[in-house]
Amino acid sequence: MFFIRCTKSRPWANSHLKLASIRPFFRALPSRTLSTAQSTRDGRPFRLAVIGSGPAGFYTAYRAMTRIQNARVDMYEALPVPYGLVRFGVAPDHPEVKNCQEKFEEVASSPNFTFIGNVSIGTKSDHPDGGTIPLASILRHYHAVVFSYGAAKDRTLGIPGEHVKGVYSARQFVGWYNGLPEHANLAPDLTRGDEAVIIGQGNVALDVARMLLEDVDVLRKSDIAEHAIETLSKSKVRRVHIVGRRGPMQAAFTIKEIRELLRLPSVAFHPIDTSLVPQDIKSLPRAPRRLMDILLQDSPTPPTHCSPPTQTKQQKSWSLDFLLSPTAFLPSPADPARLAATKFTRTTLSDPFDPAAYALPTTDADPHTIPSALAFRSVGYQSTPLPEFAPLGIPFSDRHGVISNDGRGRVQHEERAADASMRIGRFPGLYCAGWVKRGPTGVIASTMQDAFSTADAMAEDWADGRVAFLNDKGRDVGGWDGVKGEGMSGVRVVDWEGWRRIDRAERERGARVGKEREKFTRTGDMLAVLG
C-alpha cells in the first residue's frame, strides 16, 4: 500500500482505492459459502498458501475459493494484523475506501480459510515479537503458493544529500501517520520551516500534501495515529510544492485527488503555467479534458500577495511545479546534517501536449532552488525478492521489481530443452499477484482484476489435470498443520479470532476519544491484547 519485507502487502505507493468500482464484483459474493465450482484431483482438496494479506492476497483467495470447490487457503502475514495497504496505506480521511474490509472478513469467515499472522516467510521478522518460516517449508506442504507480498522498497533519486535530516520517503511518511509499526518512530520534524517540497506528482504525493495542509481538527476524527496528530498540530508548514519533471498533461495524479486538495478550506492553490495546457481543451479525450478543466479553474481560496512572513502566519497554500528535475538536497550551512533547500534543473518536453511525452534537459544552466527544511521523495516503490528465491531458482527482475511470470501470474523461468535451445518453462504450483506480479501501478480495481486473473489461471491449471503442481504425486498435503509440525515453538501465531480481539480493542480505544479506532503502533501492544 505498500511491511515486513517478505510477507506484508505494503502501503506503498498507491492508497487510492476506488470503492465504487469494487462493489459490483462483490455483490455476487455468497454470504454463507464461497465455493461454486467443482474442481478436485483424485478427491484431494486443493491447498493454497497465500503470502501477504493485502488486497491482492484477499482477492486471490476469494477467487480461488470460488473457482475451486473445497479449496483450503492459508494466508501468511508478518504482522499480527491483516489488510496491508487498506490498513496502512489508505489515507485516514478516506474511511469509505476501507469498507472492502467487510468483504475480506466474509472470506476469512469461511471454515476453509486460515489466517496465520505474526509469521514472516523466508526472512527474519523485522519486529522482535514475530516468527519466521522458511519458504522451503511452505513449498513442502501445499499444492500451490501465491506471492502477493507487495512492494517494500523505495525508489531513490540518487542525488547528493538524499540522506540528510529532513528528507523522507513518502512511503515512510504514509506508514507513520497510518500507524505502521515499522515507521512508528519516524518522528518527522515539521517545525524547522514553512516550506515543504514533494518530489513526484502521483496520488501518494497528493496524499502527503493533503496531510500537511489539512486542518488537524478534521484529522482528529479519523483513524490517523495519535503520534501523527501530535506532530501535525505543531507543524509550521504553510507552503507545499508538488514537483514533477514533466507537465500537467503527463501528471500521474487523478481527478479525485486533485479535487480534494482544491477543496481544502482556507488553503490556496497557485495557478499553473497555462502554456503547458492545450488552448482547445474541448478536443481532448474525456479524462484529460476534465483534469485540465479543474486545473485551470481559479482557486476557491486565492493566494494572497502579501509578504512571505505575513503569508506564513495567515494562509496555507500549495502548487504544482512542473518541468523541474531534482539535482541535490542542500544542507544548512549552520547544520550540515539538516536540509535547507532543494535544487532543481529545468526541463522541457518532447511534446508538451502528448501524455506520453518525456522530459529533456534544457540549455538553461541556472539552477532553480526552493527553500525547504522538509522534503519527501515520492517517485515510486519496488518489490524485493525473498532471500530463498535465488537458491530455488525463482527468477526476479531487480530492475522492474517483479517475479518473472506469464502475465496471468504463472511463475516462469528459462530452461534448456532437449535440443539444447533455451525455452520458457514454468514452476509447478508457483503464482504471483498484485504489485510483485506487475509492478506498483494501478488502483484497487486493477489489483482486484489482476488477482482474479491469477486465481483463474490457477483454477484452470488445477482443473486441467495435466498441469503439474507442488507435491503432485498422489499424496495429500497438510497445509498449515504440516508446516507447524516442522517446529514453531516459541512463536506467537495470531489466528483470525486473535485479529478480531485486537480489532475490538482498537475500536474501544478509539471510542474513548471520539474516533472509529485508535490503532496499536507496536506489535508488542497488539499481542498483549491476546494475553
The model's pLDDT over 514-531, given as tens digits with 9 standing for 90+, comes to 999 999 999 999 999 998
The CATH code belonging to domain 155-381 is 3.50.50.60
pLDDT of res. 12: 34
Amino acid letter for position 496: W
Distance of alpha carbon 290 from alpha carbon 306, whole angstroms: 32
| pLDDT greater than 70 at residue 329 | yes
Question: Quick one: CA dihedral 507, 512, 516, 522, positive or negative?
Answer: negative
pLDDT of res. 443: 79
Binding-site residues from annotation for FAD: 56, 77, 85, 121, 435, 442-444
Q: Are strands 359-361 and 339-349 parallel, antiparallel or unpaired?
A: antiparallel
The band of 40, judged by pLDDT with boundaries at 50, 70 and 90, is low
Domain extent listing, the chain: 15-152+383-492, 155-381, 495-531
Q: Report percent pLDDT > 70 for the chain.
A: 88
pLDDT of res. 453: 97
Amino acid letter for position 60: T
The band of 419, judged by pLDDT with boundaries at 50, 70 and 90, is low
Helices (H), 144-233: 170-177, 203-213, 216-219, 226-233
Query: Nine-digit cell at 219?
Result: 484529522
The model's pLDDT over 83-109, given as tens digits with 9 standing for 90+, comes to 998 999 988 988 888 888 888 999 999
Q: 412 by DSSP, 3-state: which?
A: strand
pLDDT of res. 123: 81
Binding-site residues from annotation: 56, 77, 85, 121, 201-204, 245-246, 257, 435, 442-444
| pLDDT greater than 50 at residue 309 | no
The per-residue b/e assignment along 325-358, b for 16 or more CB within 10 angstroms, e otherwise, is bbbbbbbbeeeeebbbbbbbbbbebeebbeeebe
The band of 422, judged by pLDDT with boundaries at 50, 70 and 90, is low
Cα distances (angstroms) measured from residue 281 to each of 244, 286, 404: 21, 10, 41
| pLDDT greater than 60 at residue 44 | yes
- 258-282 average pLDDT score: 94
pLDDT of res. 42: 67
Q: Which residue reads 479470532 in cell numbers?
A: 497
Find, among 137, 152, 84, the residue nearest to 115 by Cα.
84
DSSP 8-state code for residue 42: T
pLDDT of res. 258: 95
pLDDT of res. 29: 41
Q: 70 by DSSP, 3-state: which?
A: coil
Q: Could you tell me if 75 and 433 are in contact, meaning their C-beta atoms sit under 8 angstroms apart?
A: no
Q: Report percent pLDDT > 90 for the chain.
A: 71
| pLDDT greater than 90 at residue 149 | yes
Binding-site residues from annotation for NADP(+): 201-204, 245-246, 257, 442
pLDDT of res. 420: 60
Average pLDDT taken over every residue of the chain: 87
- 472-487 average pLDDT score: 86
pLDDT of res. 18: 36
Residues 6+ apart with CB under 8 A from 301: 265, 266, 267, 268, 269, 315
pLDDT of res. 314: 62
The model's pLDDT over 366-413, given as tens digits with 9 standing for 90+, comes to 899 999 999 999 998 889 999 999 998 899 998 899 999 999 999 997
**The domain 15-152+383-492 belongs to what CATH superfamily?**
NAD(P)-binding Rossmann-like Domain (3.40.50.720)
pLDDT of res. 25: 37
| 243-247, 279-283, 497-501: least confidently modelled range | 279-283
